[in-house]
Amino acid sequence: MEAVIQYLLTGLSVGSVYAMMGLGFYVMWSAAKAVNFTYGDIFMLGAVLTVVLMDIGIGLLPAALLAILASAAGAAAIERGFVRPFNREANAIGWMLTTIAVGTMLESSTTALFGSNPRMLPSPLAQEPIRLGGAGIYPQELLLPAALVVVTAALELFYRRTLLGRAMRAVAYNRTAAGLVGIDADRITLIAFALAGVLGALAGVLIGPVVQASSTMGAIIGLKGFMVAIIAGIANARGVVIAGLLYGVTEKFIEGYLSTAARDAIGFTLMVLLLLLFPQGLFGKKEFSKV
Amino acid sequence: MTALLSVEGVRVSYGRIEAVRGVDLAVAPGEFVGVIGSNGAGKSSLMRAIAGVLKPAAGRVSFDGAEVTRLKSHQMVAKGLAMVPEGRMVFADQTLRDNLLLGGFSRMRTDRAGVMRDLERVLVLFPRLRERLDQEAGTLSGGEQQMLAIARGLISKPRLLVIDELSLGLAPLILDMLFPVLSSLNREGLSILLVEQMASYALAVTDRTYVMENGRVLFEGRSADLARDPRVLDAYLGRRRAA
């Protein structure tokens, strides 16, 4: 029983990371019908930049905030330089190659500058585990689901209640029509990628104290976030959140009852099977037709 | 009088297919101009080039005395040209109110009060929209969606309203309601460029009409004259096409 609670709690924690990453892919895909495959590296930058900034004497919270803003600016720059020019035609796929290439460059240059060893991201919430129903967990890990709830609610409010959010939905629904009411769809797409950058970097900062910061921490997480978004049906934000949490919990149970080695093999197999059974995604509505 | 919109030698190509092959067209301030012609004549491509949805392969578009050939659609809206696109393109997943507010997107930051006033004004124009303000636009009938698309265009406060295929898929009853609204908007000073397959409707409300075929303007003239012109009678009024 204690083990079950343990897996559930840590699963929800890591699942929140997948969910936030999945939401980032949702935000990007909605606006551009393209995504940034460096997204795992934006996640990584959130954690790594926080450590670097703390090295030069900045406190945890301001360092985290600056790191998130810088990562978001990086995400926006990637949209401008490596997605937009390669996503001009209706079914363009050039952005896949260019963003994967930039991701690889980001990762290796971070390794060169930051070193290849993982570094601690010190957080007062990751010093002493607390006991919950027999399970031990860092408060930092509980912060993740809480942050996910806040992020999801804020995103929903943004899309429904603000003019910028409505404009983003308009661009997602029909880019031509958005232009015809005076919306600069390119600019909105840039903002969407920056917004996704905030989500990804925030996830990196929050999980950093638990997993340590390193140049390679983002690669597999980015892939899982993308997978979660696809499995959920990428056009459905709530579905993405649920799929992310479920995947996190499933992983921890596989880890617990089988082994860490089995985790990704079984996890990815499950994902492939699910996609075979639900080609539109678990919660997918029909994708809007491309205009 | 200088033209509000002037189009000179505009060509539009899709790959090797040339949809518009050198068209000249003008709209004077306050004028109600029609473009008629059969399906595939290049009317919609011409409108999309004028509105900045696509770039013309050649030619020049001027609006209000300035060249706007290379501007994008959102920049054209800011200049005062709004287009109601073929197929309406309402934002089906958003409420009517939000659709209308998005129509005022480019004015929202500088003139929110003006947007709200114009919102009220278009609801007077189309009372049926008022009853459905909180409904999602996707739940509207085709006629109501066309009303919404026109209202959404008006909220950007255009000086020229371009309407692409007003009648497409709409019942005569709805058209008998929509055309008088356009006429009254025009009488209040709005310039309108209307693309229409139903030639009889277009000729009845517009001042002047261009007839397009195969990507070119065949001829143009006062709508009242064209309505009696044998060339128009034979090709467009004799056997009226289903929309």
Q: Could you please report the per-residue DSSP string of A211-272?
A: H-B-TTTTHHHHHHHHHHHHHH-TT-HHHHHHHHHHHHHHHHHHHHHT-HHHHHHHHHHHHH
What's the average model confidence in pLDDT over B181-188? 96
B122 and B183 in one domain?
no
Contact assessment for residue B139 and residue B90, using Cβ atoms and an 8 Å cutoff: no
The backbone torsions φ and ψ at residue A35, rounded to the nearest 5 degrees and listed phi first, read -135, 170
Report the predicted TM-score, pTM, of the whole model to 2 decimal places.
0.92
Domain shared by B198 and B141, yes or no: no
Interhelix angle A94-114/A39-55, rounded to 10 degrees, is 20
Domain span at residue A33 reads 2-89+99-115+138-277
Whole-number Å distance between alpha carbons of B105 and B167: 26
Last residue of a domain, one of B157, B179, B204: B157
Inter-chain touch A173–B82, beta carbons under 8 Å: no
Asked whether residue A130 is assigned to any structural domain, the reply reads no
Q: Which residue, B157, B172, B195, sits at the end of a domain?
A: B157
What confidence score (pLDDT) does residue A131 get?
87
- CA separation for the pair B150, B124 (Å, rounded): 13
Q: Is the pLDDT of residue B243 over 50?
A: no
Which residues form the domain of B168?
Answer: 1-80+158-243
Convert B58-89 to b/e letters by CB count within 10 Å (16 or more is b): ebebbbbeeebbebbbbbbbebbbbbbbbbbb
Same domain for B225 and B117? no
Q: Is residue A287 part of a domain?
A: no
* pLDDT for the residue numbered B1: 58
**Domains held by chain B: number:** 2
Is residue B240 scored above 60 in pLDDT?
no
Q: What is the DSSP letter of A286?
A: P
Q: Are residues B178 and B62 in the same domain?
A: yes
Query: Over its length of 291 residues, how does chain A's per-residue pLDDT go in tens digits?
Result: 788 999 999 999 999 999 999 999 999 999 999 999 999 999 999 999 999 999 999 999 999 999 999 999 999 999 999 999 999 887 888 999 999 999 999 999 999 999 889 999 999 998 888 888 788 899 999 999 999 999 999 999 999 999 999 999 999 999 999 999 999 999 999 999 999 999 999 999 999 999 999 999 998 999 999 999 999 988 889 999 999 999 999 999 999 999 888 999 999 999 999 999 998 888 876 544 433
Any CB–CB contact under 8 A between A167 and chain B?
yes
For A55-76, letters b (16+ CB in 10 Å) and e give: eeebebeebbbebbebbbebbb
Q: Tell me which of B73, B81, B146, B161 to substitute to probe the interface with A (most A C-beta atoms closer than 10 Å).
A: B73
CA-angle at A94, arms to A92 and A98, nearest 5°: 150
Within a domain: A127: no
* Number of Cα atoms under 13 Å in the Cβ half of residue A29: 19
Query: Distance between CA B83 and CA B150 in Å, rounded?
Result: 9
Three-class DSSP category at B18: strand
Determine if residue A129 is left, alpha or beta; phi over 0 gives left, psi from -120 to 50 gives alpha, anything else beta. Answer: beta
Least CB–CB distance from A180: residue in B77, B101, B108: B77
Q: Check residue A289 and give its pLDDT.
A: 42
> Do B76 and B162 have their domain in common?
yes
Report residue B52's pLDDT band, with 50, 70 and 90 as the boundaries.
Answer: very high
Tens digits of residue pLDDT in B123-156: 999 999 999 999 999 999 999 999 999 999 999 9
Number of H helices, E strands in chain A: 11, 2
pLDDT at A286: 54
Q: Average pLDDT over chain B, rounded to whole?
A: 93
What's A79's DSSP letter? I
Task: Judge if B142 and B172 occupy the same domain.
Answer: no
Is residue A253 domain-resident? yes
Q: How far apart are CA B103 and CA B105, in angstroms?
A: 6
CA distance B75 to chain A (A): 7
**Same domain? B37 vs B106:** no
Given a cut of 70, whether residue B81 has pLDDT beyond it is: yes
Q: Which two tokens stand for residue A93?
A: 């796929």
Interface residue A191 vs chain B (CB under 8 A): no
Residue A128 domain flag: no
| Predicted confidence (pLDDT) at residue B94 exceeds the cutoff of 50 | yes
Residue B1 and residue B67 in one domain: yes
Does the beta-carbon distance from B91 to A182 stay under 8 Å? no
Number of separate domains in chain A:
1
Rounded to the nearest 5°, which phi and psi values hold at B170? -105, 150
CATH number assigned to the domain comprising residue A108: 1.10.3470.10
Same domain? B67 vs B132: no
CA quadruple A160, A195, A150, A152: dihedral sign: positive
B31 and B131 in one domain?
Answer: no
Mean pLDDT of B169-191: 94
Assess contact for A83 and A95: CB atoms under 8 A. Answer: yes
Task: Based on the fold, state whether residues B163 and B152 are members of the same structural domain.
Answer: no
| Domain end marker among B127, B157, B187 | B157
Task: Judge whether residue B241 has pLDDT over 70.
Answer: no
Alpha-carbon distance of B199 to B185, in angstroms, equals 20
**pLDDT exceeds 80 at position B41:** yes
Q: What is the pLDDT of residue B232?
A: 87
B139 plus B39 within the same structural domain:
no
Asked whether residue A283 is assigned to any structural domain, the reply reads: no
What CATH number did the domain enclosing B71 receive? 3.40.50.300
A242 is a domain residue: yes
> Residues of A with CB below 8 A from B53's CB?
176, 179-180
What is the percentage of chain B residues whose pLDDT exceeds 90? 87
